[in-house]
Amino acid sequence: MTIKSTPQQQLIVSFVLLILVGSLVLMLPGMTTNGRMSYVDALFTSTSAVCVTGLVVKDTADFTRVGQWVLLMLIQLGGLGIMTFSTIFLFILGKQPSLSQDTVLQDTFAGSPMKNLHTLIVSVVLLTLAVEFVGATCYFLGWIREFPVSDAIFFSLFHAVSAFCNAGFSLFPGNFTGYQTDILVNLNTIFLIITGGIGFLFLLEFHQRYGYRRRDNRQPAKPFSLHARLTVLTTLILILAGTVFFFFVEYDDVLRGMSFSNRVLISLFQSVTARTAGFNTVDFGLLSNATLFFFIILMFIGASPGSCGGGIKTTTAAVFFAVVQSRLRGETDAMIMNRTIPRETAARAIAVVISSGLVITVMVVILLLTQLGGISHVQSRGAFLEYVFEAVSAFGTVGLSMGKTSGLNTFGKVVIIVLMFIGRLGPLTLAFSIRHRETAGRLKYSEENVMIG
């Protein structure tokens, strides 16, 4: 008797195996400069890399060059997915992926304008490598004057992959705080983060619209799908909102004494990185409570579907607010950009938001119990907000930290590991992987109303 696994189950297994293999490799001698890591720390680091989060219990600069190469490969594999790379390997060998692999990949890139699996996977990988190459070249042009050639090449490659995959791992002890006003480093990182976080579905649709038309101008331009338009609009709104909020709230605090252009640059960088990447050019421990809470919202929303980032996703947030707006107006259907959102999609958006909120709530409670115990609020001195920030950062696979992660005990590290894993795959993916198949003859009971509100 054979047990058929669902695409969601296969996706979960592929990530679990990659994380476990990565954790064992990171425990080998010569991976860090000061002895071997404990297994919990190795598992934490591997999960953070594969789930492209960036939270660390050991500074990335403390890894040897070999250890940093391992992290780089885990980030790249985790960003695109092990299934994608295994399929490419089969194509190179002249073989075809199995039906189960085909199903997983089609489910991963559902909604793609490309229906041919071979074309789709090759396009995704080539696009990734091309963008990372451009990003690495830009970094190299800035760092060749600062580091030896070999270091400049590796630093450029590592940070280009980390930025595009929205991982947030940095080889510099202070992350990018040393390049706070460096225009090249900031703009290049912003470009890589946005490109990696906007989703392959939009990038492929953009390529089909403009790439193919350059080859054949007679081919009429197809309008962008609602998904593409909503992705871009929501992303721009969130970036603008974060930039403006940070600029005005931190104007006389973190941004004090800086020129107007540098204030804008720093505000823009924090807004872009806060949703999913985790790089920082300022010390987040110095930010106001209002800014931290606003960034918690941005981290919760996260990147776009089909991208390397986590969170509930930009389109999910947009559909959720459209549903709320329609209900407040007394309308049955949610509408966006002169299009009606299918009720199944609306229900899915609500389920994602609520389930994500519940997961974070439960994990924050466990985190507070295991880290603070019975310590009073006065004695904890604001630790509540800090732990909420770390938890949402893990779920959104962001990687921004207020310094609590490195001091977590074993229970706390396990909580963050679980949050990073759920945030990367999504709560519904995990739920669908364990649900029972619906039967055709399922009973439907009579309806009865209850009071709401």
Of all residues in the chain, the percent with pLDDT exceeding 90 is 54
Q: By the 8 A CB rule, do 52 and 26 touch? A: no
Residue 50 lies in a domain: yes
Residue 209 lies in a domain: no
Residue 40: give its domain's CATH number. 1.10.287
Q: What is the mean pLDDT of residues 261-271?
A: 96
Residue 227 lies in a domain: no
φ, ψ of residue 63 in degrees (nearest 5): -85, 150
- The predicted structure's pLDDT at residue 90: 45
Q: What is the mean pLDDT of residues 230-239?
A: 94
Helix (H) or strand (E) holding 277: none
- The predicted structure's pLDDT at residue 126: 85
Q: What is the mean pLDDT of residues 234-255?
A: 95
Please report which confidence band the pLDDT of residue 36 belongs to, taking 50, 70 and 90 as the band edges. Answer: confident
Angle at 263 (CA atoms; ends 260, 264), nearest 5 degrees = 90
Q: By the 8 A CB rule, do 199 and 303 touch? A: yes
Q: By the 8 A CB rule, do 426 and 307 touch? A: no
Residue 332 has pLDDT above 90, yes or no: no
- Which tokens is 333 given? 């259907």
Q: By the 8 A CB rule, do 326 and 335 touch? A: yes
Please report which confidence band the pLDDT of residue 396 belongs to, taking 50, 70 and 90 as the band edges. Answer: very high
Q: For 286-311, write each residue's pLDDT tens digit.
A: 899 999 999 999 999 998 887 888 89
Helix (H) or strand (E) holding 254: none
- The predicted structure's pLDDT at residue 220: 60
> 68-72, 428-432, 442-446 — which is least confidently predicted?
428-432
What is the torsion angle, in degrees rounded to the nearest 10, for the CA atoms of residue 51, residue 115, residue 110 and residue 325? Answer: 130
Residue 421 lies in a domain: no
> 20-29, 39-48, 297-306, 431-440 — which is least confidently predicted?
431-440
Q: For 10-34, write each residue's pLDDT tens digit.
A: 778 888 999 999 999 999 999 998 8
Residue 446 lies in a domain: no
Length of the chain: 453
The string of DSSP codes covering 356-405 is HHHHHHHHHHHHHHHHTTT--HHHHTSHHHHHHHHHHHHHTT----SS-G
Higher pLDDT, 274 or 436: 274
The Cα 217–Cα 210 span in angstroms is 10
- The predicted structure's pLDDT at residue 285: 86
Q: For 175-205, write each residue's pLDDT tens digit.
A: 999 999 999 999 999 999 999 888 877 887 8
> In terms of residue numbers, what domain contains 27?
1-108
Residue 432 has pLDDT above 60, yes or no: yes
- Which tokens is 385 given? 């907000």
Residue 169 has pLDDT above 90, yes or no: yes
Q: What's the structural domain count of the chain?
A: 1
Please report which confidence band the pLDDT of residue 148 belongs to, taking 50, 70 and 90 as the band edges. Answer: very high
Q: By the 8 A CB rule, do 396 and 304 touch? A: no
Q: For 75-109, write each residue's pLDDT tens digit.
A: 999 888 755 654 554 444 454 544 444 454 555 55
- The predicted structure's pLDDT at residue 111: 52
Residue 66 lies in a domain: yes
- The predicted structure's pLDDT at residue 97: 47
- The predicted structure's pLDDT at residue 115: 55
Residue 270 lies in a domain: no
* Exposed e or buried b per residue across 309-345, where buried means at least 16 C-beta atoms within 10 angstroms of its C-beta: bbbbbbbbbbbbebbeebeeeeeeebebeeeebeeee
Q: What is the mean pLDDT of residues 444-452?
A: 76
Q: What is the mean pLDDT of residues 383-401?
A: 93
Residue 216 lies in a domain: no
